[in-house]
Amino acid sequence: MPTQHSFRPALGAMALGLILLTTGTAALAQSSGEAGAAQSPVPIPPAEQGLATRQAHQVVEVPDVTKDLEGPVFTDDGRLIFSDTQGGRLLSWTPDKGLSTLATLDGLMPGGMAVHDGRLFVAAFTTDGGGAIVSMALDGSDQQSVVPEEAGFLPNDVVFDDKGGFYFTDSHSDASDPKGGAYYHSPEGDISPVIEHLDVGNGIALSPQGDRLWVGEFGTNQLHRLDLADATSVAPFGGTVAYYFIGPAPDSMRVDAEGHVYVAMYGQGKIMVFSREGLPIGQILLPGRNESRFLHVTSMAIRPGTDELTIVATDGKREPGEAALFQARAFGKALNSR
């Protein structure tokens, strides 16, 4: 007849078997998860997998796009204006009227844009290798030079302050001797550097209070947070790299009314969202990204008075590639003044 002690080896063997079974099952699940992630061309980096995640949905296909869409901004009458960059076109869209061509810019490849005082300001590369900033009426007429090509910049994006001046990024690229940066164009027309020696200055945004400038450095995958002493000076100890991105690459950015920062990830098919201090808090994923569709996310805009975020994206291919507008809920409402 078995005693109490005689059961101990059997119980120990059973416990060991359960441990091995549990460990093996967990390892198999982990292996399966890693295999699934590895099959995506743009797996979510481990450090970003725990972020609050929202899914965007496609609202309209944009036909005949040359390669990239850029620069979406909302006008007071509810239109979304954005650009077919390499095609040199400004496009307009509303849900009821659909898509139309607003203007064609001869010799310019329009990028980041801003609406100020009833006019549209467009940062653009020129087809001969230079760059400029132009303004125009909201119907595309009355085009005027603001920062001429002769100034020597490659303007990429633009954001206004509440004094009528604006900040813009310079996209000059040279990894061994970076010559890009961010600059301030005063209401009087003077241009002053705020931060220099960047390898492809790209996205730029200003906090709701106007005292913190965010600048994306495309060539080094960095998000710069600059606390301003005045319009053109960074406060002592006020400059820091808030985030180092993993994978390609920070493009245009926006700020909402709560100070959240939205950064388009060009090549990853997603938007990253940061707190007002620059800590990652969320991400917005586009459909099709795991099948290499719509990875060229360049920019976004929040409809005034709402948290409706509209995103522009393409597959990055020359015609006939895919291009579309997408929408998702933002993490805050629009900053209406910029």
**Cα 86 from Cα 126, distance rounded (Å):** 10
Spatial separation of the C-alpha atoms in residues 232 and 2, rounded to whole Å? 87
Q: Any idea of the CA torsion for 170, 172, 176, 182, to the nearest 10 degrees?
A: 0
Helix (H, G, I), strand (E, B) or coil at 245: coil
**Is 157 an annotated catalytic residue?**
no
Question: What is the CB neighbour count within 10 angstroms for residue 288?
Answer: 17
- Residues facing 284 on adjacent strands: 54, 271
Sheet containing strand 155-160, edge to edge, reads: 155-160, 166-170, 180-185, 191-198
The total number of residues written for the chain in this structure: 338
Number of H helices, E strands in the chain: 1, 25
Q: Which of 84, 251, 256, 315 is catalytic?
A: 251
Our CA dihedral for 193, 113, 333, 162, rounded to 10 degrees, sits at 50
Q: How far apart are CA 253 and CA 231, in angstroms?
A: 19
User: Active-site positions?
Assistant: 251
